[in-house]
Amino acid sequence: MDVRAAVAVEAGKPLEIHRVQLEGPRAGEVLVEIKATGICHTDEFTLSGADPEGLFPAILGHEGAGVVVDVGPGVTSLQKGDHVIPLYTPECRQCEYCLNPKTNLCQAIRTTQGQGLMPDGSSRFSLNGKPLHHYMGTSTFANFTVVPEIALAKINPDAPFDKVCYIGCGVTTGIGAVINTAKAEPGCRAVVFGLGGIGLNVIQGLRLIGAEMIVGVDLNNDKKEWGERFGMTHFVNPSEVEGDLVPYLVDLTKGGADYSFECIGNTKVMRQALECAHKGWGESIIIGVAGAGQEISTRPFQLVTGRSWRGTAFGGARGRTDVPKIVDWYMQGKIEIDPMITHTLGLEDINKGFELMHSGESIRSVVVY
């Protein structure tokens, strides 16, 4: 079938809107009509050329929601008409990783996913007879996509696509980092670096668990109001701090953060996030994704004296199990999404969504098909 897609033709170039060809689902695969997709900083990271796994030409997008249109042979858990969120972290419930409660990183299809291919090693997308790469197993910048059954969460059919698509990455990553990865306790003190689409959801997660102090750090002063809207108690703009940021934050948190979260992808900030964690027990969680060739560093003494450096992908969530629950939390009013979706665009304006991200004007832009 012909579908409408935004194609990443080359690193650093705007996406191009094309009619591309999509083959139907093969065994274990599902054809999904994507109704809406968010634009995450990770899409920008890959489009920029900084992603060592970045492949071109490709159909990016990993924060979608839609409806099952067709299923391939052997698909048992989904049927036509089901509402779904595609998962860039699948949940096969069988691999060594799924069977280990310490991780959410199902590895059943990770190799082919990283190669921009479906699990059988081929692509379903093509343009003028030439294959296009899939992206993160989801490729939601197309109004139809093919996704493995194990990478789809079935959700409440009453949930609005243009809001819950954000649960496909940003919401789950931020809230999950607090609940699943940090397992932060009520009364804790936390510092969140970067108050964008991810950081604000970390803040909302910290509010949810009853953190006592939530410090937000961002270079953009407009983010103060945004952070406060979701539970931030203190705002720090590093460019306005006299002297070093780390001792300032240690002082503000009365000895250091119980938990700190890096939600930018800046390796220098990752170091600051670790070093503002409390001596003896502070944990720093890396969420931001850093470009090819970049490395983190600190004095080992920081770890010797009891700080831990950790990381999280998709907020430690097991998508088929946890995503439907997070959709329900939204439907019950337990978490907020609507105010964070600052811009809704048509596919033809998708590049505007990337510009709004660069200028710091948007929290989340959502493309509605």
Active site (catalytic) residues: 40-42, 62-63, 92, 95, 98, 106, 110, 169, 364
The binder of 22, among ligand NAD, ligand AHE, Zn ion, none, by C-beta within 5 to 8 A per type, is none
* Min CB(110)–ligand AHE separation in Å: 6
The binder of 141, among ligand NAD, Zn ion, ligand AHE, none, by C-beta within 5 to 8 A per type, is none
Confirm if 167 and 342 have CB atoms less than 8 A apart.
Answer: no
Angstrom distance (rounded) from CA 304 to CA 232: 30
214 DSSP β-pair partners: 190
The binder of 352, among Zn ion, ligand AHE, ligand NAD, none, by C-beta within 5 to 8 A per type, is none
Task: Report if residue 41 touches ligand NAD, rule: CB under 6 A.
Answer: yes
Binding residue count for ligand NAD, defined by CB under 6 A: 32
The two beta strands, 283-286 and 259-262, are: parallel
Angstrom distance (rounded) from CA 257 to CA 268: 18
Overall residue count recorded for the chain in this entry: 369
Interaction site with ligand AHE (CB under 6 A) = 40, 42, 51-53, 88-89, 105, 110, 169, 289, 313-314
Question: What one-letter code names the amino acid at 268?
Answer: K
Please, which of residues 265-284 interact with Zn ion by CB under 5 A? none
Q: What is the 3-state secondary structure (H, E, C) of 210-265?
A: CCCEEEEECCCCCHHHHHHHCCCCEEECHHHCCCCHHHHHHHHCCCCECEEEECCC
Task: Report if residue 42 touches Zn ion, rule: CB under 5 A.
Answer: yes
Here's the x/- map for ligand NAD, 283-312, by CB under 6 A: it reads as ----xxx----------------------x
Task: Report if residue 357 touches ligand NAD, rule: CB under 6 A.
Answer: yes
Here's the x/- map for ligand NAD, 185-204, by CB under 6 A: it reads as --------xxxxxxx-----
Enumerate residues 6+ apart whose C-beta is below 8 A from 240.
Answer: none
Question: What one-letter code names the amino acid at 245?
Answer: L
Binding interface with Zn ion (CB under 5 A):
40, 42, 169
